[in-house]
Amino acid sequence: MTSRSTRRRGPCRAELPALLARAAATPRTYLTPKRLKSRPADPRSYLYAIGIILYELIAGRAPFIGADDFELISAHLHDDPPPLDLVAPTPPPEPVARLVMQALAKEPEHRFASALAMASAIEDASRSVATAG
What are the per-10-residue average pLDDT scores of the chain (133 residues)? Answer: 48 56 58 82 90 94 87 88 96 96 95 96 92 77
What pLDDT score does 124 carry? 94
Instruction: State how far the alpha carbon of 100 is from the alpha carbons of 4, 15, 112, in Å.
Output: 44, 35, 10
| Burial per residue of 19-39, b for 16 or more beta-carbon CB atoms within 10 angstroms, e otherwise | eeeeeeeebbebbbbbbeeee
What pLDDT score does 127 carry? 92
Contacts of 77 (CB under 8 A, 6+ apart): 33, 36, 37, 106
What pLDDT score does 28 carry? 59
Q: Write down all domains in the chain, each with its CATH number in brackets.
A: 32-132 (1.10.510.10)
What pLDDT score does 130 carry? 86
Is the pTM higher than 0.85? no
d(CA 55, CA 63): 6
Are 69 and 92 in contact by the 8 Å Cβ rule? The answer is: no
What pLDDT score does 11 carry? 47
What pLDDT score does 2 carry? 47
